[in-house]
Amino acid sequence: MNPVGLGFDLVDLERFRLLYGDSDPDTLCRVFTPHELEVTAAGADRWHRLAARWAVKEAVLKVLGGMQDGMSWTDIELRTAPDGSPSVKLHRGASAKAQSLGITSWLVSISHTDNTVGAVTIGAST
């Protein structure tokens, strides 16, 4: 595996809640995939889990060179493997951009505190 790029993002949970906490469902649907909204729908830690997904999206975008024409937030999806590890699934424009960069796999690390969520992503080629 050869690293192509590294991305990092840190989300302040209070600010994230202020931005999205009172959003109508359509706003969240423009940012998060149906799967992401489904797995974060309930629980006291919902905003931590949504913020983690946001941090991963931002970190992936940094590897891809930023948001570009033909890309949307829902093109980047955080999934959870059966063993609990995070993984990235790309769709549409983000997938095409990753392919053009030679990225064939992603490494993801997420960390939480009471007030912040951080994510690191590495796009790699084989």
> Annotated binding site for Mg(2+), which residues?
9, 58
- As annotated, the binding site includes 9, 58
How far is 48 from 67, CA to CA, in rounded Å? 23
Q: In DSSP terms, which residues pair with 9 in a beta bridge?
A: 119
How far is 85 from 105, CA to CA, in rounded Å? 14
Residue entry with tokens 């997420």: 110
